[in-house]
A = this chain, B = another copy of it.
Amino acid sequence: MPGVFLKDALVTLKESGVRITPQRHAILEYLITSHTHPTADEIYKALESDFPNMSVATVYNNLRVFQNAGLVKELTYGDASSRFDFVTHDHYHIICDECGKIVDFHHPGLEEVERLAAHVTGFKVNSHRLEVYGTCPDCGEAQNEAK
């Protein structure tokens, strides 16, 4: 039921006084239905046919709006551009070192790590970020064949 996420998101936005423009609707929908953690440019390109006049700035602006509303998270890795992820329930990412593919996986939150960190540093902890890196099945297979 991907439609549920979209509807909920629109309600959340409306409640925080954000207008639902066609562009915003389309960007949100793309984030939810394409399960690909896209870059801003990928979103821009994907919606080009439907919105030939849309500006890149609109994509960035609205991604920021969505982040402020807590609907979207920005993922920054070493490479050039950020990726954006529609927030559903908490999950972590595993990323292929070879091809860059990002796959979701679920794991209970690391409260114990947060507690320890708070204890030894004196910080008041808000959140954490965890990513696992490795080789995805496709790339692993390709490496075996190359031998």
A→B interface (CB under 8 Å) = 74, 76-78, 82, 92, 94, 96-97, 103, 105-107, 110, 113-114, 116-118, 120-137, 140
Would you list the 5 A-B pairs with minimal beta carbon distance, nearest first?
A125-B134, A123-B134, A122-B137, A117-B132, A128-B132
Q: Are B131 and A105 in contact (CB under 8 A)?
A: no
Given contacts A76-B78, A123-B134, list 7 more A-B pairs with CB under 8 A.
A78-B82, A103-B123, A105-B120, A117-B132, A122-B136, A124-B135, A125-B132
Q: Are A128 and B133 in contact (CB under 8 A)?
A: yes
In the complex the two chains form, what is the Cα distance from A130 to B130 in whole Å? 4
Pairs across A and B, CB under 8 Å, 22 listed: A74-B78, A76-B78, A94-B121, A103-B123, A105-B116, A107-B113, A113-B132, A114-B132, A118-B134, A121-B136, A122-B137, A123-B136, A123-B140, A124-B134, A124-B140, A125-B134, A126-B134, A127-B132, A127-B134, A128-B133, A129-B129, A130-B130
